[in-house]
Chains A and B, each alone.
Chain A
Amino acid sequence: MASVSLRNVHKKFGPITVLESIDLDIADGEFVVLVGPSGCGKSTLLRSIAGLEAINGGEIQIGDRPVTHMAPKDRDIAMVFQSYALYPHMDVRRNMAFSLNLRKSPAALIGERVAQASAKLGLNALLDRLPKQLSGGQRQRVAMGRAIVRNPKVFLFDEPLSNLDAKLRSTMRTEIKALHQSLKTTAIYVTHDQVEAMTMANRIVVMSDGVIQQVGPPLELYDRPANMFVAGFIGSPTMNFFDAVIVKGAARLVDGSLLPLAPAAWKEGREVVIGIRPEHLHFADQGLPATVTVVEPLGMSTQVTLDAADERVTLLALERPQLSPGDRKYLTAKAADIHVFDRVSGLRLN
């Protein structure tokens, strides 16, 4: 187990900057999820930590050792790939024992570690099979087993669940989290799925265009997103945004309707964007006029899409409202639930 620290990490592919001034400290035993849209640099950052990509500037430290210029094999890490990357010509046992064999560990130790890991992951019956004889979920488990037997300082996961179907993904998500809780090894996990990020992480790192947008515990990111990007990326369905102008301490939307804001030193006439999560919008007798366009009952809740203030708006109702497309309604939200962002910089103002 070890902490990981990144200092001013830069990475370029030719003229394109893919990682810019990355500073990040990951505590010993922490489960950190790097999340962001495709091409945001999250996988490159993980591969840089693994040593599979050389960085153009900055420093990477694992535990108390600087590893910036070390080969991947010397960094004492284990990685689970999106493609699983099992060695196809070796059976499950040899796949799992491969790293220990390379280190010339004693046969008894190798046998013991493989047995422990396979018992933990339910792989005992599969040890003599080749990867091609396994299902997707089983391959995923073998890939994790291969990582576990090494007892590394840090686990790296590169979108390990994206090739599984939705049901298996949710099971494996729980398994990985349980595994981390029992092993307590530092883990860095890359995903583009914000649900995975929210459910698994101790802390989430949201990235966009090679820059860290915000780092924090899942609920902090959800409740107090640092900017419009994080606000829009974390949460499903996504946050509703409206252009607005500050008028007498309230937000006046483009259709002239007013929404209350929590008291603050608002500058009169400032152009802002306000954000309201779908579950924080409510139907009311007055407020923002809206027209129902689509009603989607989800069982536990109902997702309603409406047109309001020149925007398409999503509302998540826990009750089951009787609505039809074309119905005219009023929407409102509590002042405390309204996020305010600067229209130019996108940064949070409240």
Chain B
Amino acid sequence: MPGQSLLQRILGQTGLYAAIACYVIFALLPIYWTIKISVTPQDLLYSEGIKLWPSRMTLANYTSVLKATDFPRYFLNSILVSVTTAVIVTVVASFAGYALSRFRFRGKAVVSLVLLLTQTFPLVMVIPPIYRIMGQLGLTDNLYGLIIIYTAFNIAFATFLMQSFLDGVPKDLEEAAMIDGCTRFEALRRVIMPLTLPGMGATVAFVFTAAWSELLFALMLINSESQKTFSVGLLTFVGKFAVDWGQMMAASVMALIPVCLFFMFLQRYLVTGLTAGAVKG
């Protein structure tokens, strides 16, 4: 900036990078620690305490998690539940968000309000009735039951998210498409959908992560080993008298991998600015 001395500029830049570094360390330290514990041999776990990296490394925790536990099954269950939920929620929320964004209809304000209200209940409060309902429907201890619950709980927020993205796509674009020869649905598919990919990407990522890490419902509704998701599965490493930290951390690291891959894949859709140049400016 003009009027600033070199020293001031250097100090300012240093302060900025120091602040960013502090934040990154704060955010990544738990993940780093998880990885560190996962490769620490059992005998060094307590003896080396808070050393930043163990003197010896092992992958034994990973092999025993993969071979000696049901973790691969939990993992597949989680993938099934999270991907299905994310796809269903995003498709439904896209259409619902489009309706809220574009149409004027009777009771629109009420619909929005009810959607918002669903977000205000503490989950603990709704568990007993949901358990009753799912029990009578035969959907307890069943992955489809979880998918239904996760879909129901995520759809309101996802709808608002998609609505806000769709609000950002100028109405003129679909009107132009409709004059050019599209039906409303074609205009949505050919013009609006490609422009809301960042929004859909964000919605998929949000719902996937929420479903992937959900514990409360999974714990309440699932009993049998074959139906457990990994978040419930992680608890099996907590014994009555001891916690198997090494295996638990190894399982956690593996659980992080799909989320990381997922975000790497979605990153290009999460960039904004795709609509730049559509309209004036």
Residues of A bordering B, CB below 8 Å: 50-52, 71-73, 75, 77-79, 81-89, 98-99, 102-103, 130-134, 136, 139, 146, 150, 163
13 A-B contact pairs sorted by A residue (CB < 8 Å):
A73-B180, A73-B181, A79-B176, A81-B175, A81-B176, A82-B280, A85-B176, A87-B278, A88-B277, A131-B278, A132-B276, A133-B277, A163-B280
- Are B181 and A103 in touch, CB under 8 angstroms? yes
For residue A129, which residue of chain B has the nearest CB? Answer: B277
Q: What is the minimal beta-carbon distance from B25 to any residue of chain A, in angstroms?
A: 37
B178 sits at the interface (CB 8 A) = yes
Q: Once bound together, how far apart are the Cα atoms of A134 and B40, in whole Å?
A: 57
B173 sits at the interface (CB 8 A) = yes
Given contacts A52-B175, A79-B176, contact A85 B277 (CB under 8 A): no
Determine the chain A residues whose CB is within 8 A of the CB of B134 once the complex forms.
Answer: none
Residues of B bordering A, CB below 8 Å: 170, 172-173, 175-183, 186, 191, 194-195, 274-280
- Determine which residue in B172, B176, B182, B195 has the highest number of CB atoms from chain A within 10 A of its CB, and name it: B176
- Determine which residue in A75, A87, A136 has the highest number of CB atoms from chain B within 10 A of its CB, and name it: A87
Given contacts A86-B277, A89-B194, A133-B277, contact A81 B178 (CB under 8 A): no
Q: Once bound together, how far apart are the Cα atoms of A78 and B182, in whole Å?
A: 13
Given contacts A83-B172, A83-B279, A136-B280, contact A89 B274 (CB under 8 A): yes
- Are B170 and A83 in touch, CB under 8 angstroms? yes
Determine the chain B residues whose CB is within 8 A of the CB of A133 once the complex forms.
Answer: 277
- Are A73 and B277 in touch, CB under 8 angstroms? no
Q: Once bound together, how far apart are the Cα atoms of A40 and B181, in whole Å?
A: 29
- Are B278 and A85 in touch, CB under 8 angstroms? yes
For residue A77, which residue of chain B has the nearest CB? Answer: B179
Please give 9 more A-B residue pairs, beta carbons under 8 A apart, in addition to A52-B179, A133-B277.
A52-B178, A73-B183, A83-B280, A85-B176, A88-B278, A89-B274, A102-B180, A102-B181, A131-B277
- Are B180 and A88 in touch, CB under 8 angstroms? no
Determine the chain A residues whose CB is within 8 A of the CB of B280 once the complex forms.
Answer: 82-84, 136, 163
Pick from B181, B183, B186, B195: contact of A88, CB below 8 A.
B195
Q: Once bound together, how far apart are the Cα atoms of A89 and B177, in whole Å?
A: 13
- Are A87 and B179 in touch, CB under 8 angstroms? no
Q: Once bound together, how far apart are the Cα atoms of A194 and B69, in whole Å?
A: 80
Q: What is the minimal beta-carbon distance from A97 to any residue of chain B, in angstroms?
A: 10
Q: Which 3 A-B pairs have the closest CB atoms?
A: A132-B277, A83-B279, A102-B181
- Are B278 and A72 in touch, CB under 8 angstroms? no
Q: Once bound together, how far apart are the Cα atoms of A84 and B178, in whole Å?
A: 14
Pick from A73, A83, A87, A131: contact of B178, CB below 8 A.
A73
Q: Once bound together, how far apart are the Cα atoms of A253 and B267, in whole Å?
A: 74
Q: Once bound together, how far apart are the Cα atoms of A131 and B182, in whole Å?
A: 20
Determine the chain A residues whose CB is within 8 A of the CB of B172 once the complex forms.
Answer: 81-83, 85
Q: Once bound together, how far apart are the Cα atoms of A87 and B182, in whole Å?
A: 13
- Are B191 and A87 in touch, CB under 8 angstroms? yes
Q: Once bound together, how far apart are the Cα atoms of A75 and B179, in whole Å?
A: 8
Determine the chain A residues whose CB is within 8 A of the CB of B194 once the complex forms.
Answer: 89
Q: What is the minimal beta-carbon distance from B167 to any residue of chain A, in angstroms?
A: 15
Q: What is the minimal beta-carbon distance from B276 to any residue of chain A, in angstroms?
A: 4
Q: Once bound together, how far apart are the Cα atoms of A103 and B179, in whole Å?
A: 12
- Are B173 and A87 in touch, CB under 8 angstroms? yes
Q: Once bound together, how far apart are the Cα atoms of A136 and B186, in whole Å?
A: 28
Q: Once bound together, how far apart are the Cα atoms of A139 and B275, in whole Å?
A: 14
Determine the chain B residues whose CB is within 8 A of the CB of A50 once the complex forms.
Answer: 175, 179
For residue B187, which residue of chain A has the nearest CB? Answer: A73
- Are A139 and B179 in touch, CB under 8 angstroms? no
Given contacts A85-B172, A88-B278, A139-B277, contact A79 B182 (CB under 8 A): no
For residue A139, which residue of chain B has the nearest CB? Answer: B277
- Are B182 and A85 in touch, CB under 8 angstroms? no
Q: What is the minimal beta-carbon distance from A208 to any residue of chain B, in angstroms?
A: 25
Q: Once bound together, how far apart are the Cα atoms of A50 and B178, in whole Å?
A: 10
Determine the chain B residues whose CB is within 8 A of the CB of A146 once the complex forms.
Answer: 176, 180
Q: Once bound together, how far apart are the Cα atoms of A71 and B183, in whole Å?
A: 8
For residue A103, which residue of chain B has the nearest CB? Answer: B181
- Are B179 and A78 in touch, CB under 8 angstroms? yes
Q: Once bound together, how far apart are the Cα atoms of A131 and B278, in whole Å?
A: 6
Determine the chain B residues whose CB is within 8 A of the CB of A89 once the complex forms.
Answer: 194-195, 274
Q: What is the minimal beta-carbon distance from B24 to any residue of chain A, in angstroms?
A: 32
Given contacts A83-B280, A163-B280, contact A88 B274 (CB under 8 A): yes
Determine the chain A residues whose CB is within 8 A of the CB of B278 once the complex forms.
Answer: 83-88, 131-132
- Determine which residue in A75, A84, A88 has the highest number of CB atoms from chain B within 10 A of its CB, and name it: A88
Q: Once bound together, how far apart are the Cα atoms of A99 and B181, in whole Å?
A: 6
- Are A72 and B274 in touch, CB under 8 angstroms? no
Q: What is the minimal beta-carbon distance from B140 to any residue of chain A, in angstroms?
A: 45
For residue B277, which residue of chain A has the nearest CB? Answer: A132
Q: Once bound together, how far apart are the Cα atoms of A88 and B273, in whole Å?
A: 10
- Are A84 and B279 in touch, CB under 8 angstroms? yes
- Are B182 and A73 in touch, CB under 8 angstroms? yes
Q: What is the minimal beta-carbon distance from B278 to any residue of chain A, in angstroms?
A: 4
- Are B178 and A85 in touch, CB under 8 angstroms? no
Determine the chain A residues whose CB is within 8 A of the CB of B178 once the complex forms.
Answer: 52, 71-73
Determine the chain A residues whose CB is within 8 A of the CB of B170 once the complex forms.
Answer: 83, 85
- Determine which residue in B177, B178, B274, B277 has the highest number of CB atoms from chain A within 10 A of its CB, and name it: B277
Q: What is the minimal beta-carbon distance from A151 to any residue of chain B, in angstroms?
A: 13
